[in-house]
Amino acid sequence: MKAKTTRILITGAHGQLGQALLANLPWLPEFSPSRLRMEIPEASLVSGSAVKPRSAIAPGSAIEIVALGHQQLDLTSADLPERLSEINADVIINCAAYNAVDAAEQDMAAAMALNAEAPERLAIWCRQQGAWLIHISSDYVFGNVFGNVFGNDLGSVFGNVSGNASANMLGNAPRALTESDVCEPLSLYGQSKLAGEQRLLKANPGALVLRTSWLYSRFGSNFVLTMGRLLTERPELKVVADQVGTPTWAEALARLIWQLLIWFHLKPEKSAVLSGCFHYAAMGQCSWYLFTKEIAEQIAKPQCNSAPSSQAAPSQAALQSQATLHSPANPAPITPRCRITPVSTAEYGALLNRAQAPRPAYSALDSSALKDAMAAMPSAFRCYLPKDYPSPIWLSWQAQLALMLSGLGASSLG
């Protein structure tokens, strides 16, 4: 059998999800070069009973990864098609995005260029070359689908913050949002992301759009790392309690994408594994306030303060943000002496004293369609994944957060 090679291009590789993808390669430790050829070990072609699956591919099969940041590959440049042809990828994972939600209100042209026009150009190239495109989108494509889920008496809701009050602080939305719900983005950022989805799928119906929400990780700057630092620095934090969504660990999303890519690699013909638009987020939902409360509770647990046994070095910014979360010099639990106070979006905006882009009050995503689609994958492909590659994909948001904060991360989720 002839060895097979699949070349994968990761755009926006210096961002949070790009780094998570590179930190969660199924057969290799973390790495940071712009190009890597990953030979699939022959051992991974053998199941536990030492019998090769019927879909086995030849030893020496390889996945080549080209991971490029904005400085290395500008998706808004005029010569993008030529650059893509030079790379000649079989799959493009588009992690690049204009993510400055508030800044987009004043710079819609920049947001549209990267969030709408660039995905369309990628889609056209992929369609012409027969490549598969995976594009990452956002829960901010939705508006207030269920209207005012918190009603007008926010004081009575936010005042009930003791005991088992969580259920009373999630609003009255009847269900999580599905792919068929109407998209009416409230912000210019959301409009640019929705335009990107629409242009991309019109240009290339075989592409895959993955909408996700409230991403965080050990990389870069994000809500969990920021709150973890502020909880130990400030006497009080006022956190928005009338926006509900689903926090999602970027490394769980990365592992989901890798499963799709391995399936693509094993297929006899290189064609789309999934196409259209799907949601992916952790299970459950919370407000930013409840999310912060959970972060505080979890970093007070002893396991969040032990040094991970095998953890690749994150960025300097991440190290500084995580210093109080993973401190080998202090094995005792860290108890943030910080009061966490729920406030409304309007109150928080007044505290900032600057304009904020409008955000949906409720944007929790229902991932059941994607879960069902992945459950239908041929079971044979799973034996190509290492046995020590446990999946956090379908865990609750609290469980994903615990994995991230415990320092288990990409290297040892078991």
Q: Give the residue numbers annotated as catalytic, written as ranges.
A: 189
To which residue do tokens 């995976």 refer? 134
For residue 343, the cross-strand partners are: 240
C-alpha to C-alpha distance for 401 and 395, rounded to whole angstroms = 10
* Token representation of residue 86: 């030079």
First vs last Cα of the chain: how many Å apart? 34
Q: Which residue has the tokens 């070359």?
A: 129
Please state at what angle helix 118-129 crosses helix 188-203, rounded to 10 degrees: 10
CA nearest to 255, candidates 85, 17, 81:
17
Q: How far apart are CA 350 and CA 352, in angstroms?
A: 5
Task: State the maximum Cα–Cα separation within the chain, in Å, rounded to a whole number.
Answer: 68
Cross-strand bridge partners of residue 91: 8, 132
Tell me how far apart the alpha carbons of residues 246 and 139 are, in angstroms, rounded to a whole number: 9
Q: 287 in helix, strand or coil?
A: strand
Q: Is 29 exposed, middle or buried (0-12, 13-18, 19+ CB in 10 A)?
A: exposed
Q: Please, what is the Cα angle at 234 between 228 and 237, to 5 degrees?
A: 75
Give the torsion through C-alpha atoms of 123, 125, 131, 134, to 10 deg: -30
Which stretch of DSSP H or E encloses residue 68? strand 62-68
Check if the beta carbon of residue 357 is closer than 8 Å to that of residue 102: yes
Answer whether 137's CB lies under 8 Å from 209's CB: yes
CA dihedral 77, 82, 84, 90 (to 10 degrees): 160
Phi, psi of 352 (to 5 degrees): -70, -30
- Give the span between the Cα atoms of 383 and 404, in whole angstroms: 26
